Amino acid sequence: MEPPADAGRERPLLEARNISKFFGAITALDRVNFHLARGEVLGVVGDNGAGKSTLMKILSGLHAPSEGEIVFDGRPVRFTSPRDAREVGIEMVYQDLALAGNLPIYENIYLGREPGPRLLGMTVVDRRKSRTMAKDHLDRLKIHVKSVDQNVEELSGGQQQAVAIARATAFDARIVIMDEPTAALAVKEVGKVLDLIKGLKEHGVSVILISHRMDDIFYVCDRVMALFHGRNFADATLADTTRNEVIGWIMGTRGHTDSLAHDRVH
Ligand SMILES: Nc1ncnc2c1ncn2[C@@H]1O[C@H](COP(=O)(O)OP(=O)(O)OP(=O)(O)O)[C@@H](O)[C@H]1O
Ligand SMILES: [Mg+2]
């Protein structure tokens, strides 16, 4: 589905209001606000420990917020597990990918959600169907692997990242959250992952991309938000900011954009 032309102005697909998260004495998030439109690619930046992963774990149902509310498509929601978030179409690709290395690609894509008839509460896995569906899905995403029977541990870092993204998008995801998907990749593989993100956007899927790499952010994102010490620090469309300004946000400084006007991205 194509994202509507006025994607930025309509009701957000996902919104979080006044989210706080306490881990014992640590305040990981302090009244954070967040919004995401349909088909929008949002970059999330911030220094180590700024709260990026924690916020995304809350939006994907892994952590419950200590305070605040989440609104999905206009309705307040309370996720008690990633399964709840997945049910409304929110999927997260974790920093450590969470793939099963000793299993083939096609099994990783459907892990725990295999196609096939249900019998006595268990799914009778239809391997042939699952293999074909995996192959079709990878083709749609333009992900090339030798065979879906290959074990994931035999793949390069970029291919593993692609399988993790394929897994996240196998069931009509509406929002895919990616936590530093390019951090461990070689340059050539980074481009492929970023192009996958562009492909998802073209299909109307919203993407949240946590990244420390300005090249990634400025290549794929529509907007960027910065957290600093667990708080909202800045938020701007890419057209309204510069790499240097965003780097400043990560360090907790603002301004100086006029002197950097030549660096503006249009
Ligand atoms: N499960 C946890 N238990 C206790 N403290 C935690 C937990 N998860 C995160 N924190 C703390 O919350 C704060 C925010 O961490 P978070 O992982 O969200 O940061 P981040 O922005 O993702 O950093 P990085 O760029 O290093 O991945 C940090 O002080 C971290 O130590
Ligand atoms: Mg993190």
24-53 pLDDT tens trace: 999 999 999 999 999 999 999 999 999 999
Tell me what pLDDT residue 187 has: 83
Tell me what pLDDT residue 261 has: 45
Tell me what pLDDT residue 59 has: 97
Q: How far apart are CA 34 and CA 14, in angstroms?
A: 8
Residue 53 Cβ < 6 Å to ligand 1: yes
Residue 19 Cβ < 6 Å to ligand 1: no
Mean predicted confidence (pLDDT) in 77-94: 92
Residue 48 Cβ < 6 Å to ligand 1: yes
With CA atoms as reference, report the closest residue to 130 among 160, 108, 97: 108
CA of 45 to the centre of ligand 1 (A): 14
pLDDT classification of 265: cutoffs 50, 70, 90: very low
Residue 28 Cβ < 6 Å to ligand 1: yes
Ligand 1 atom showing the smallest separation from residue 46 Cα: 21
Residue 50 Cβ < 6 Å to ligand 1: yes
Tell me what pLDDT residue 263 has: 47
- Nearest 10 degrees: Cα torsion 209, 15, 33, 190: 0
Share of the chain above pLDDT 90, in %: 56
CA of 45 to the centre of ligand 2 (A): 10
Tell me what pLDDT residue 193 has: 86
Mean pLDDT (the chain) is: 87
Residue 63 Cβ < 6 Å to ligand 1: no
Each domain of the chain, given as residue ranges in start order, spans 14-99+174-263
CA of 56 to the centre of ligand 1 (A): 11
CATH superfamily for domain 14-99+174-263: P-loop containing nucleotide triphosphate hydrolases (3.40.50.300)
How far is C-alpha 34 from the geometric centre of its chain's CA atoms? 14
CA of 105 to the centre of ligand 2 (A): 26
Residue 25 DSSP SS3:
coil
> Is the pLDDT confidence value at 105 over 90?
yes
